[in-house]
Amino acid sequence: MSMTGFDLSFRHLCSPYTTLRFEFPTQTRRKIQYGCTCTAGRPALCSTSASSTAVSDSNENHVGTSYGRRTMISMITILFPLHRSMQHSCANAADDLLLLQEEIRKVLTKGKAAGVLRLVFHDAGTYEIDENSGGMNGSISYELDRPENKGLKKSLKILLEAKKTVDETITVSMSDVIAVAGAEAVSLCGGPKIPVQLGRLDSMVPDPEGKLPEETLDAIGLKQSFKRKGFSTQELVALSGAHTLGSKGFGSPIIFDNSYYKVLLEKPWLSSGGMTSMVGLPSDRALIEDDECLRWISKYADDQDLFFEDFKNAYIKLVNSGAKWKRNS
């Protein structure tokens, strides 16, 4: 720390730190070299005689130094408590997330991962940009009797167990629980680690019906549906890779990898007879017939790391779509 300025580095906050450098006004640190530089506001420092120049310089330097010190102390008084407050807030958020992750891991198994990940998609997948409706808001709790959500009651039930335990310490929304649980399901099965922010607010009513992409859509219909939700074709293909988990026939049902894309390229459903004809949904098979989708399918089949990175980014976007946030988040 010097009289010309000081650095405050926020190195332990939630976002990448920024170094802030405060420079005091030049007049507070300069040395007077050329006679009297007083203004009408400082008459006591003035003298018209040459013999008083040294005294004037001394007084000017003393006042400048004093002013600089007061300014620096004032800055520190304001900024250091803010720095500590931000650190405390981020530390609390990290602790809350860790607690939620630990409780989810207690109830989640690889065999349940596909169902939990499907729960994420069916809660967040109702989002529509133009209508500003749906999205990641926990409304799936009110929509379980809809045909497209068949089988999700079990997945929600195990997450409610985790939520009940967490709520004894902190209050967490159902939408936060679902978003974090999906990320944990992917990680548990060997996929990428996905950071999820907490602070979503839950809806108290169901989302409008008919907003999820239908399983019978062709590639054009799928791209149009995802576009209405704010997702590109690349993001559509990346998110579709979640079908590598579960019983749809893409590799191991409990391993998250790029098998989905490799199997799509093989088109096993074209083989006569056997279970190969049951691989994937109609919407999965439609992707391989679209040139734009095929380009991304080929990339992900060749490069699992690329798939993991793109899936992570698309997942974060998905669980933030349509979310309403607490003010302090």
Average pLDDT over every residue of 270-290: 82
Contact at 8 Å (CB) between 257 and 190? yes
Nearest by Cα to 317 from 104, 119, 121, 90:
121
Per the rule left: phi > 0, alpha: psi between -120 and 50, beta: everything else, 321 is: beta
Percent of the chain with pLDDT over 90: 65
Helical H segments across the chain, by residue range: 53-107, 110-124, 152-166, 174-188, 219-228, 233-240, 259-266, 282-287, 291-302, 304-320
Residues 83 and 113 both lie in one domain: no
Please check the confidence at residue 288 and state whether its pLDDT lies above 60: yes
Assigned domain for 263 exists? yes
Q: Is 324 exposed, middle or buried (0-12, 13-18, 19+ CB in 10 A)?
A: middle
Q: Which residue has the higher pLDDT, 52 or 103?
A: 103
- Tokens 């300025």 identify what position? 5
**297-319 confidence digits (pLDDT tens):** 999 999 999 999 999 999 999 99
Which tokens is 188 given?
């548990």
Computed on alpha carbons and rounded to an integer, the radius of gyration of the chain in Å comes to: 30
What pLDDT is stored for residue 276 in this prediction? 59
Residues 143 and 221 both lie in one domain: yes
Residues 182 and 266 both lie in one domain: yes
Assigned domain for 96 exists? no
Assigned domain for 97 exists? no
Residues 84 and 156 both lie in one domain: no
What pLDDT is stored for residue 32 in this prediction? 36
Assigned domain for 46 exists? yes
Contact at 8 Å (CB) between 304 and 258? yes
Catalytic residues: 122
Q: How many alpha carbons lie under 13 Å from residue 85 in its C-beta half-sphere? A: 7
Nearest by Cα to 124 from 165, 180, 68, 49:
180
Residues 246 and 150 both lie in one domain: yes
Residues 166 and 295 both lie in one domain: yes
Q: Please give the Cα distance from 289 to 225 (Å, whole number).
A: 17
pTM (2 d.p.): 0.74
Based on DSSP, count helices (H) and strands (E) in the chain, helices before strands.
10, 4
**68-92 confidence digits (pLDDT tens):** 666 656 655 555 555 554 554 567 8
Assigned domain for 60 exists? yes
Q: Please give the Cα distance from 160 to 248 (Å, whole number).
A: 26
Please check the confidence at residue 112 and state whether its pLDDT lies above 90: yes
Least confident interval from 66-75, 213-222, 242-251: 66-75
Assigned domain for 281 exists? yes
Please check the confidence at residue 131 and state whether its pLDDT lies above 70: yes
Look at the chain and report how many structural domains it folds into.
2
**151-207 confidence digits (pLDDT tens):** 999 999 999 999 999 999 999 999 999 999 999 999 999 999 999 999 999 999 999
Assigned domain for 102 exists? no
Domain-terminating residue out of 58, 91, 124:
91
Residues 173 and 217 both lie in one domain: yes
User: Which residues does residue 2 pair with via DSSP β-bridges, in sequence order?
Assistant: 5
Contact at 8 Å (CB) between 196 and 179? yes
Please check the confidence at residue 31 and state whether its pLDDT lies above 90: no
Residues 297 and 249 both lie in one domain: yes
Provide the domain limits for residue 43.
5-91
- Tokens 């005091």 identify what position? 24
What pLDDT is stored for residue 33 in this prediction? 42
